[in-house]
Structure 1
Amino acid sequence: MAENGRKSGEVVPGSGLKPGLFDGKDKSKLFDIIDKFRENGIHEDISLPQLVVVGDQSSGKSSLLEALTRLPFPVAGTLCTRFATQIVFRRSAPGEPDRIKVTIIPSEHGGEDRKTSLRGFTRYFDTLEADDFSDVLSDAGDAMGLPKIGVIQATGNSGARFSDDVLKIELTGPNHDHFSVVDVPGLFQAATVYQTEEDGKMVETLVKRYINDSRTIILAVASSLHETANQKVFRLAKEADPRGTRTLGVLTKPDALQKGDEGRIIDVARNNVTVLNHGWFVVRNRSTQDIAEGVTLEERDVKERAFFSRPPWKSLAADRVGVTALKKFLRALLEDHVRKEFPNLLKEMNALIEEAEKELEVLGPCRETPDEQRRILLKLATKYQNIAINGILGNYRGEFFDKVEDHRVRMLVAKSNDKFNENIVRHGHSMDFEDIGTVEDIRDTKKSMSNPNSIYCRIRKEYHASRGCELPGMVNPITVENLFKWQSEAWGKFSEEHFDKIKATTNKYIANLVKYVCPEQDLELRLRARLDIIIEQAYSRADDELRSILKSEREGVLLTLDSSYAKVLQEARKNRTMFALDAVQLGTEGVCNSMAILDAVSSSNEVQNINDIHDILAAYYHVARKRFVDNVALQVVERHFLSREEDGPAMCFSPQWVGGLSVDELEMVAGEDKAVSNRRAVLRDKLDRRGLLSAYILPGDTEGLLALGNIVGAWVMFVLHFFWRFR
């Protein structure tokens, strides 16, 4: 029985580890999937399960990594690790040779050209000696744009000293266990000639980025020479993992302790001081003297076993001391972690694919070549035309017209026409015409000529002002023309208001329709800018038409073939005669007085002419007013605003117009913005690379992995379908 009631070989309670899970092919495939995810950039969008080694400088982190990976990590005093390094071990088939492949996984923060360049960094080795490893680190730093090791501060180089890129070292061989670990730069506080306080902050930021990830298992390395609470790594680990569920502690350099201090470290190793869910391990690595004496890694293992076989260290559980036990535990811990996180990982990937679909839908199809640009515009124009003609004809069927009054252009124009007619009828004349309906009206003509508020007064004034060569009792024809022009003076104002209202309605309708058929904002704005030229030309023609109608009505000759004019005028004259006769007083014997009758129907030349001018003007005005309103509605609104011809503003976006665009014009209208093109390329590249992952997701004998394979298979089919749809 070991410490805390835990049996030797038993995992820490709560770790969830089970022996024998994902052995063999299934386990290998699961780790391959995660690695391929990372290689293909999925880690840029979602976090992946990983084991990260973190420690203060001089904590023995590099020596521990050397013991775990058998790679010759540099242990010099200068700052060597300036980027994360992922070491991946995979077991190959028996008889296959050992292979080592070194690549760079680019950071998500770099540009596409930089990412492409870094992906091209590749080195192959049969074995990786110390000099080879040093050269690889140097070459990788050069590729990442970092200054040379050991001269950073001395040269005053102000460029980047650390990188978010990841150096990946993949070791494949028949004798390897499946294992993966990420090394990050060591934490430090004190500045040296090789590293500044600013560098320390940058390293801390980089480390936090890894350990704050909920899918990261933190392998916290601490020197036995110092209190764990005083070491920076545990402060950061505590902040990132307050309950210690993701943190495993490793104590190094127990052989360097002063005699009598062993009890303090043993107490920590038994999980009694800094309590972690996965507990603690103690390892003894090569010392500086061992390295100087050329102690090999195999000899290191022998010395470590001998060290922990002596008291007081042999009181610790055998499965909690030494690098062999640590590596076995880490492998099982990582396998279990990956197994538990994988379903959630796939769910997040599906969510990202859905987001990518929505984003690509917003971006729209590719518009890089003239053929693509014309094809897109033709599709949009056809959709526009089908909806536009329905709006013009008042056939409000379809989503565009549902519950949106501003889209029902025919209804809005009809309302405006009604309002225009009402304004002309009620307010289009300068003064009201006099009714000829009572005897008093007839008798008051002479009196009204002196009343400035009566139209008779205005007629009398114009009658005298227009006297020409005509004989007494006759009327100069210019008199009625001038009076009509005066009486219809408000037509211009009301017709221009009506014009502006129809223009605003049409503009809003076109804008809403273009936006509806073209949801991409950049394309919509450029299309509108081009269409606005055609639209303004149509509005200019409509304005010319309106002015022509106004000029014809108000400044041309007075002309009508409308029979109602003669009828109205005849009726007015008859009424004047009838009401004049009604005013005659008959004799006591009922005999009509001829002189009284003659006096009643006769009046002075002035009164008679003014009455006649009034009746002619009134009859003609009513005919001209109705004609004018109809002409504005038909010749201006219908012909120029709601025309079904392709030069009409409402129908200007047509396939015929698109077909006539030159290559340069197509580029101006539908050419894709560089940022949009780049973004689409990024999305396509991601979907393309992720689609290729189907080759690595194969169901095995394990039921859980089979279910995961089915999920991933469906996801891959979706990705491939979606990718080819937008190529």
Structure 2
Amino acid sequence: MEKLIPLVNRVQDALGRFEREEGISFPRLVVVGSQSSGKSSVLESLVGKDFLPRGSGIVTRRPLILQLEYSPRGSEIGVFSHKPNTQIRDFSEIRREIEAETERLVGRRCGISPEPIRLKITSPNVVDITLIDLPGMTKVPVGDQPHDISEQIRKMIIDYIKDKNSIILAISAANQDLANSDSLRIAHEVDPQGERTIGVITKIDIMDRGTDALSMLTGKLYPLALGYIGIICRSQEDINRQKLMHQHLEDEMNFFITHEKYKHIANKMGTKYLSITLNNLLKKHIIKSLPVFKKKINERLRNADNELKNYGIPIQGNRDFQGVVVLNIITAFSGAVSKTMEGRLASEQQCELNGGAQIRHMLFSIYAKELMNIDPFNAVSDQDIRTAILNSQGIRSNYLIPQDALEILIKIQINKLLQPSLKALETIADYMKSFIKDVTLPEYQVYPNLQNSILHIAQGVLESCNKPTNEFINEIIENELAFINLDHPKLLSVEEAYKRAEIEYKDLLRVRLENASNVKAGWFSRSNPVNKAPEIASERETKDMFFTRNIVISYFNIIRKNVGDYVIKAIMTLFVKKSIEKLQNELLTHLYLKDNFDEILYESPEIPQKRQALAELVTSLRKAAIILDEIRDMD
């Protein structure tokens, strides 16, 4: 339990820059205050040493992640993460290193950077705490400061304290109105209920005579769930005459113990109480957050490890290994296409039809329905039927309807089946091209040339299977047109056709009697051009028209069913299945060539960089996971 905070510090050290890059937020104490609030004095009091840069304007220009670790033996040592092998015992040197590392990144001017500096201080005079010191808030730019410096600082502070794992250490000076405290105001934006904000009131000893900070310290002015702690800052005179820190802490406690207004709360005031309180707060917060922590680290480790595997290892020039890679990718691509078409890669996350299911829907629901919706006489009127019969008779007087008229009308209807069938093939072909393009493999991000080659060959396979399928569909229609089988066993019989014609003729007469003006279009015409059939059809002609139409509809329904069945089978067999069967062989034939391996397995320049970055991330996450596993049975 006592080593909980140092263990988490080790996890943070293991992650290094990835903590920020990966958005992994550990429980942390974030110190927030204006430039004149005494923020630096609070931190130095917690450490017991002068080690922070001092001066006018913005002194803290980069976040300082300060890890304090108690060590019962040994001297006070500081170690920076950017100099892990250098132990610094002179704290004035620590100050100079903070200044130098800040200038290295942001220069000598007054710019700021969110890139943190990490400093670990081990000492027998500290308790385990990890704090993040941020630049002090300012209202207006001064000197060389950027014109938007206040907004830059504000954004940086919000980025750190908005996280639910951040405990906000809001520093406010007692000699200023608490209602105008910059630190409390910005903390309220992200923590409106004050549940994770602890107030620190500084400069209590320099308040105007006759005033006190009791209402502040007791939370009457601005309540916080974690309360307030009063601190006495060292004066500039104390700093100049190098007043020892232990002497300052003794004087601080004497101030609270002997002060008339504060002596009854003196046991909850001062730097030592602040240290213990922060230590307990941080430990409780860590214990509460630990399960989520471990889960997030392990999940990111698995994801990063899988991502790294997708990038593989450098293989340029190694023909044998290149061949294995090409073969595996071809097999994976062909397998993904085949399994999706067969429905073996179905997923609960899919909310749309995909692969074979989508093709089946296109054929059996859309295409088949489109065929059934074709009206054989949507552009052929009764008058057209009568004209066809009369034209087939010529100068002869036929007792029966000429077969030529039936065949002409039937062929007109059969031709209507060709375009929907070819359109169905075109739709399936377009879908297959799109589907194959959407089949992605992790290796594609590493080998873009190989992806392009696979897609090019796959498109060629589809085109090679499209042509014979198109020809077969045309042959289906041509065969139906070449021979009209009026002896088909399912064709409406002559007797039944005449029987229906008689019924339809009687219905027509009834309509004429009921409303002489309500006559079917095409039967009568006010004009009678010389190339049109006679204006009024006789009873015989009318019945023949009905008879012919019934026969044509019956035959068309038979052919429509046959064509729909043949076309669906042709597309499924000659196009879809044939394409899948040919795909892997064509890919192997054109890609599995050793002379082409370097070209198709070319890596773009950023790939080695990404691979290296992922390898470092996996190493860091693995170290962090091992450290987290050391924390057991925290009660």
TM class by smaller structure: 0.5 to 0.7
Q: Give 2:104's match in structure 1, choosing from 142, 155, 166.
A: 142
Sequence identity, in percent?
18
Q: Distance in 2 between matches of 1:168 and 1:663?
A: 51
Q: Distance in 2 between matches of 1:215 and 1:300?
A: 33
State the one-letter code of the partner of 2:208: Q
Contact 1:251/1:282 (<8 A) preserved: yes
1:195-344 paired onto structure 2 within 5 Å:
195-196=145-146, 198-261=148-211, 264-312=212-260, 315-344=263-292
Question: Displacement of 1:287 after TM fit?
Answer: 1.2
Question: Displacement of 1:634 after TM fit?
Answer: 13
Distance 1:541 1:664, change over 3 A: farther
Question: Displacement of 1:335 after TM fit?
Answer: 1.9
Q: Give 1:130's match in structure 2, choosing from 75, 78, 92.
A: 92
Q: Distance in 2 between matches of 1:330 and 1:350?
A: 28
Q: Give 1:181's match in structure 2, choosing from 131, 140, 151.
A: 131
Contact 1:545/1:635 (<8 A) preserved: no
Distance 1:364 1:492, change over 3 A: farther
Question: SS at the partner of 2:242?
Answer: coil
Question: SS at the partner of 1:57?
Answer: coil
Q: Give 1:508's match in structure 2, choosing from 431, 436, 447.
A: 431
Question: Displacement of 1:397 after TM fit?
Answer: 8.8
Q: Deviations over 1:180-226 (max 9, x none)?
A: 11111111113311435511111112112222222222221111221
Question: Displacement of 1:37 after TM fit?
Answer: 5.8
Q: Distance in 1 between matches of 2:159 and 2:574?
A: 63
Aligned to 1:158: none
Contact 2:88/2:94 (<8 A) preserved: no
| CA RMSD in angstroms, aligned pairs only | 5.6
1:418-437 paired onto structure 2 within 5 Å:
none
Distance 1:29 1:166, change over 3 A: same
Question: SS at the partner of 1:100?
Answer: strand
Question: Displacement of 1:123 after TM fit?
Answer: 6.9
Distance 1:270 1:184, change over 3 A: same
Aligned to 1:76: 55
Question: SS at the partner of 2:167?
Answer: strand
Q: Deviations over 1:287-322 (max 9, x none)?
A: 122223333334433443444454336624332333
Considering only CA atoms, is the larger Rg found in Structure 1 or Structure 2? 1
Distance 1:250 1:673, change over 3 A: same
Contact 1:535/1:652 (<8 A) preserved: no
Identify which range, 225-234 or 535-544, moves more after superposition.
Answer: 535-544
Contact 1:59/1:222 (<8 A) preserved: yes
Question: Displacement of 1:501 after TM fit?
Answer: 2.6
Q: Give 1:654's match in structure 2, choosing from 584, 588, 606.
A: 584
Aligned to 1:89: 68
Q: Give 1:372's match in structure 2, choosing from 322, 325, 335.
A: 325
Distance 1:286 1:418, change over 3 A: closer
Q: Deviations over 1:319-339 (max 9, x none)?
A: 233322222222222222222
Distance 1:664 1:199, change over 3 A: farther
State the one-letter code of the partner of 2:182: K
Please give the TM-score of this superposition, normalised by the length of structure 1.
Answer: 0.59
Alignment partner of 1:54 is 2:55: no
Contact 1:269/1:280 (<8 A) preserved: yes
Question: SS at the partner of 2:283?
Answer: helix
Distance 1:71 1:381, change over 3 A: farther
Aligned to 1:536: 463
Contact 2:161/2:187 (<8 A) preserved: yes
Question: SS at the partner of 1:169?
Answer: strand
Q: Distance in 1 between matches of 2:217 and 2:568?
A: 90
Contact 2:76/2:122 (<8 A) preserved: yes
Q: Distance in 2 between matches of 1:696 and 1:397?
A: 41
Q: Distance in 1 between matches of 2:87 and 2:333?
A: 56
Structure 2 unaligned regions, length at least 5: 316-321, 348-352, 488-555
Question: Displacement of 1:87 after TM fit?
Answer: 0.7
1:407-486 paired onto structure 2 within 5 Å:
407-408=359-360, 412=364, 446-448=395-397
1:543-622 paired onto structure 2 within 5 Å:
none
Distance 1:138 1:668, change over 3 A: same
Contact 2:171/2:202 (<8 A) preserved: yes
State the one-letter code of the partner of 2:120: E
Structure 1 unaligned regions, length at least 5: 1-21, 105-120, 153-160, 391-395, 436-440, 459-483, 566-624, 706-727
Contact 1:89/1:178 (<8 A) preserved: yes
Please give the TM-score of this superposition, normalised by the length of structure 2.
Answer: 0.67
State the one-letter code of the partner of 2:623: L
Aligned to 1:620: none
Q: Distance in 1 between matches of 2:370 and 2:159?
A: 68
Q: Distance in 2 between matches of 1:398 and 1:63?
A: 63
Distance 1:520 1:505, change over 3 A: farther
Question: SS at the partner of 1:447?
Answer: coil
Contact 2:421/2:473 (<8 A) preserved: no
Question: Displacement of 1:503 after TM fit?
Answer: 3.7
Contact 2:11/2:623 (<8 A) preserved: no
Aligned to 2:421: 498
State the one-letter code of the partner of 2:139: Q
Distance 1:46 1:691, change over 3 A: same
Q: Give 1:694's match in structure 2, choosing from 613, 616, 625.
A: 625
Contact 2:267/2:273 (<8 A) preserved: yes
Question: Displacement of 1:60 after TM fit?
Answer: 0.9
Question: SS at the partner of 1:317?
Answer: helix
1:355-366 paired onto structure 2 within 5 Å:
356=303, 365-366=310-311
Q: Distance in 1 between matches of 2:198 and 2:356?
A: 62
Q: Distance in 2 between matches of 1:645 and 1:528?
A: 16
Question: SS at the partner of 2:428?
Answer: helix
Question: SS at the partner of 1:51?
Answer: strand
Question: Displacement of 1:94 after TM fit?
Answer: 4.2
Distance 1:103 1:655, change over 3 A: farther
Aligned to 1:101: 79
Question: Displacement of 1:286 after TM fit?
Answer: 1.9
Distance 1:548 1:65, change over 3 A: same
Q: Distance in 2 between matches of 1:503 and 1:346?
A: 53
Identify which range, 519-528 or 237-246, moves more after superposition.
Answer: 519-528
Question: Displacement of 1:55 after TM fit?
Answer: 0.8
State the one-letter code of the partner of 1:182: I
Distance 1:432 1:380, change over 3 A: farther
Q: Deviations over 1:517-568 (max 9, x none)?
A: 97999999955554223322433455567789999999xxx9x9xxx99xxx
Distance 1:676 1:298, change over 3 A: same
Question: SS at the partner of 2:122?
Answer: strand
Question: SS at the partner of 1:300?
Answer: helix
Identify which range, 176-185 or 292-301, moves more after superposition.
Answer: 292-301
Q: Distance in 1 between matches of 2:160 and 2:339?
A: 55
